[in-house]
Amino acid sequence: MRLYVIRMALQLENKELQQVQAKRKPVRPSYYSADLGVDIEISEDFEAVLILLPSSAKQQVQQAINRRSQPDQAKRKRDTILKAALAVDLEVANAQIDEATSTLQQNDTVTNSLRDPRFMSVPETKLLMDAVQASSDELLLQRQRAKHNGVMATLIGRSIDTDQDSRLATQYASLSDLLRKYMT
């Protein structure tokens, strides 16, 4: 897939224009875009910037890129620990949901037993039904909280994008290569 970049009219003085024309590559190089996942040919203007940028500035940019692109072991360890913790959170949430659902089913069975017309004529039976209902209300709330926790654990886990780190490393390496190609 080849992407075209709209050329922005970079204003150059005659001396700069001559310098750019003398150092242009026969084929403009490309860089990897982490966002798009493809190589993108640099624009003529960006090539001019790379040619005109002082070598010291190119070296500083390259050093900054190299510092940023080095594997960040602490981040990887953190992400691994976070993923493990989120997996446990999801497991706990699922167990809480199962337990609450099971207890709610038992409460329904008890409530149905208490609804026997013979028992309903006894005033204290209503007290028992109210107690079971209060328990069910709390269980419904706990089950909803557990579902929410499970969804949050899932979403946060999905947001830890180790592939993005890999794509960024590739992008940084390609930008570093671009700078090397235009070092004078």
The pLDDT value given to residue 166: 76
Provide the token pair at 161: 């994008």
Cα three-residue angle 174-169-179, rounded to 5 degrees: 30
Strand partners, 32: 39
| pLDDT one-digit tens code per residue, 118-173 | 998 899 999 999 999 999 999 999 999 999 999 999 999 888 866 667 788 788 88
Mean pLDDT of the chain: 87
Provide the token pair at 146: 């557990």
Higher per-residue pLDDT: 68 or 57: 57
Stated pTM of the model:
0.53
